[in-house]
């Protein structure tokens, strides 16, 4: 008998096949692709459906993060745990995001996806990517740090900067923990408030198929499936490399921490297909946090690791950065020596952290990296602009999966993972 993890004695009525969210999203994607391919002009007009859904989800992200993080920290008896969890999470993020950069670098070096295109850099029109270069130049370390600090205590609740919400939630949670006796009514209120907030998330997810349909119809209508054939080797190499990273590297990490990566992927399949349909990782954030908590991860760890990982643990984006950078060099017949590759890697490590939380971070961080590595022309980014939309889906998928695995691992490291619950939930 299947039971509700929040109410073990209450049986859950199993949904019919067509009632499953991921099934509805898959059909919506197929219909969207069909419309965009055969009637591209009509497909382009579907863009508001996809954009509208993403805006709806963004509306609820700040309250979800604030409530989860603040109540999670308030429930920690030992505040040293907060610092310990943060230190372990950032150690994990730094190691695996750097490893992702190295994987992209090595794969691109050996497969040579850009070899044979013989592009003359002088013929490239850099105006098409000027806005990304400008965004990269404006995204200095000082601006990044100051962007984490909100104007007021409550302004993050009306914005879309995850790191600002996280900062306020951590401070508020620590304050609640330090004044636990006097603040107990506030803590109780926030715990109760989570019930309707997560119910809103559940209601919004029912519109996910509409959002996925609109997003895919627009993408195929605007860019065309034919654009996948152009530079198809790059797209194929990126998808296969990402698949290998998830199965081999994250799969090994999962095995060492007592769970199976394939069963984990099946457990978060709704979030995976949601990301696939919308080309954005943000719609999956509330559902991912909820599922990780139900799978036995400590609530405080989930609140700290997942939102922070959305900004600092971007495995898919990092694979893309070094892979795309070397593709441009190969396409322009630019030979990079070992020292050039090491400089590229070091710059990418820094730029991938400096653009954390920036919308469209994948293309912007690539621009930030190439502006510091003179051997590779920034204008070469125009070569991949047409297929970047298709690669953004894969970037987002790997980012979400990577952060889900990171949360389970850090919970395990903290000895705050209910392994029996995890086994019961994901199988």
pLDDT tens track for 276-288 = 877 777 788 888 9
What is the reported pLDDT for 417?
87
Q: What is the pTM of this model?
A: 0.77
Rounded CA separation 267/244 (Å): 19
Any alpha helices (H) in 39-79, and if so which ranges?
Answer: 40-44, 47-74
Tens digit of pLDDT for each residue in 156-181? Answer: 787 767 778 888 888 888 888 888 78
119 pLDDT higher than 50: yes
Q: Residue 246 pLDDT more than 70?
A: yes
How far apart (Å, rounded) are the C-alpha atoms in residues 30 and 19?
17
φ, ψ for residue 159, nearest 5 deg? -110, -170
* Residue 68: both structure tokens together: 């989860």
Choice among 41-45, 77-81, 283-287 with the minimum mean pLDDT = 77-81
Least confident among 73-87, 130-144, 238-252: 130-144
Nearest 5°: the CA angle 223, 52, 318 is: 55
pLDDT digits 0-9 by tens, 370-400: 777 777 777 777 777 767 777 877 888 898 9
Q: In CATH terms, is domain 15-426 a member of 1.10.3860.10?
A: yes
- DSSP reduced 3-state for 3: strand
Q: pLDDT over 90 for what percent of the chain? A: 13
Q: Residue 59's CB: how many other CB atoms inside 10 A? A: 13
Q: How many CA atoms lie within 13 A of 176 on its CB side?
A: 24
The answer to whether residue 362 scores a pLDDT higher than 80 is: no
Indicate if the pLDDT at residue 358 is higher than 60: no
Pairwise pLDDT comparison (255 vs 78), residue with the higher score: 255
Q: Does residue 334 surpass a pLDDT of 90?
A: no
What is the Cα–Cα distance from 58 to 287, expressed in whole angstroms?
A: 13
Q: What mean pLDDT, rounded, does the chain reach?
A: 79
What average pLDDT does range 252-276 have in this prediction? 90
Nearest to 317 by CA among 81, 140, 97: 97
Higher pLDDT, 79 or 309: 309
4: helix, coil or strand? strand
Closest CA to 71 of 305, 405, 311, 301: 301
Q: b/e map of 250-264 (b: 16 or more CB within 10 Å)?
A: bbebbeebebebeeb
Instruction: Give the model's pLDDT for residue 408.
Output: 94
CB distance 318 to 100 below 8 Å: yes
Identify any residues that bridge with 11 across adjacent strands, giving them in sequence order: 3
């Amino acid at each position: 008998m299947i039971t509700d993890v929040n109410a073990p004695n209450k049986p859950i009525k199993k949904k019919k096949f067509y009632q499953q969210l991921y099934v509805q999203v898959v059909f919506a994607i197929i219909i969207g692709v069909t419309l965009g391919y055969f009637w591209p002009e009509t497909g382009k007009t579907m863009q508001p459906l996809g954009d509208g859904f993403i805006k709806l989800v963004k509306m609820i992200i700040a309250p979800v993060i604030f409530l989860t993080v603040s109540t999670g920290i308030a429930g920690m008896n030992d505040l040293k745990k907060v610092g310990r969890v943060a230190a372990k999470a950032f150690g994990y993020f730094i190691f695996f995001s750097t490893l992702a950069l190295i994987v992209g670098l090595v794969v691109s070096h050996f497969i040579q996806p850009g070899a044979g295109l013989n592009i003359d850099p002088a013929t490239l029109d850099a105006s098409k990517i000027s806005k990304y270069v400008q965004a990269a130049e404006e995204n200095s370390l000082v601006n990044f740090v100051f962007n984490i600090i909100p104007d007021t205590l409550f302004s993050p609740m009306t914005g879309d900067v995850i790191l600002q919400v996280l900062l306020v939630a951590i401070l508020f949670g620590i304050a609640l923990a330090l004044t636990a006796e006097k603040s107990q009514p506030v803590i109780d209120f926030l715990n109760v408030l989570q019930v309707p907030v997560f119910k809103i998330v559940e209601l919004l997810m029912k519109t996910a198929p509409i959002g996925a349909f609109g997003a895919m119809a627009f993408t195929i209508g605007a860019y065309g499936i034919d654009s996948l054939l152009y530079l198809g080797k790059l797209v194929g190499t990126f998808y296969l490399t990402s698949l290998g990273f998830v199965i081999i590297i994250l799969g090994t990490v999962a095995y060492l921490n007592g769970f199976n990566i394939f069963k984990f992927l099946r457990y978060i399949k709704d979030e995976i297909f949601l990301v696939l349909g919308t080309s954005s990782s943000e719609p999956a954030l509330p559902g991912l946090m909820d599922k990780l908590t139900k799978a036995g991860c400590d609530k405080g760890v989930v609140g700290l690791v997942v939102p922070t990982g959305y900004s600092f643990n971007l495995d898919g984006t990092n694979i893309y950065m070094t892979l795309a950078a070397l593709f441009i060099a190969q396409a322009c017949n630019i030979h990079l020596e070992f020292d050039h590759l090491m400089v590229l890697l070091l710059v990418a490590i820094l730029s991938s952290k400096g653009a954390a939380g920036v919308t469209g971070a994948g293309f912007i961080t690539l621009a930030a990296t190439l502006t510091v590595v003179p051997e590779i022309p920034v204008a070469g980014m125009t070569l991949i602009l047409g297929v970047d939309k298709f690669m953004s889906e894969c970037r987002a998928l790997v980012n979400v999966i990577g952060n889900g695995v990171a949360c389970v691992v850090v919970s395990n490291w903290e000895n705050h993972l209910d392994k029996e619950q995890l086994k019961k939930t994901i199988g």
